[in-house]
């Protein structure tokens, strides 16, 4: 736990961002981004706990993540989403565009 916390929260050097999504005091998911040094891009991450999917938490979390990214000086945010993952539609509805499709994943991008 300490290593994860140190890497993502304490010593992120502007290359990582992580927040919980809560409804009052109930944990419903998380959003994050990190810098992928190999590809030189920032990758988004949105995870909603299964019982809370389809209730708008993912959309709200993704939009807030985009705002935080922009505030932190990031100009483009990407995500590579498994081809069979329904969250591709969520990203497209939130202003991301598809930039690459393979047999395994869809790469989406949003200019902030």
Kindly list the domain boundaries of the chain, sorted by start residue.
2-111
The CA distance from 21 to 31, in Å, is: 7
Residue/partner pairs of 81-84 with CB below 8 Å, 24 or more apart: 81/105, 81/106, 81/107, 81/108
Average pLDDT rounded to a whole number, residues 83-100: 97
What's residue 46's pLDDT? Answer: 96
- Mean pLDDT, residues 50-69 taken together: 96
* Report field, pTM of the whole predicted structure over 0.85: yes
Question: At 16, is the pLDDT very low, low, confident or very high (cuts 50, 70, 90)?
Answer: confident
Read off the pLDDT of each residue in 37-54 and give the average, rounded to a whole number. 95
CATH superfamily of 2-111: Gcn5-related N-acetyltransferase (GNAT) (3.40.630.30)
pLDDT band at 15 (very low <50, low <70, confident <90, very high): confident
Alpha-carbon distance of 12 to 29, in angstroms, equals: 21
């Amino acid at each position: 736990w300490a290593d994860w916390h140190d890497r993502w929260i304490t010593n992120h050097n502007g290359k990582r961002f992580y927040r919980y999504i809560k409804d009052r005091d109930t944990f419903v998911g998380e959003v994050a981004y990190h810098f992928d040094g190999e590809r030189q891009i920032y990758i988004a991450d949105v995870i909603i706990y299964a019982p809370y999917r389809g209730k708008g938490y993912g959309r709200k979390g993704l939009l807030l993540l985009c705002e935080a990214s922009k505030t932190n000086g990031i100009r483009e945010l990407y995500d590579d989403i498994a081809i069979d993952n329904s969250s591709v539609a969520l990203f497209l509805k939130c202003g991301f565009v598809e930039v690459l499709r393979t047999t395994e994943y869809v790469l989406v991008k949003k200019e902030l």
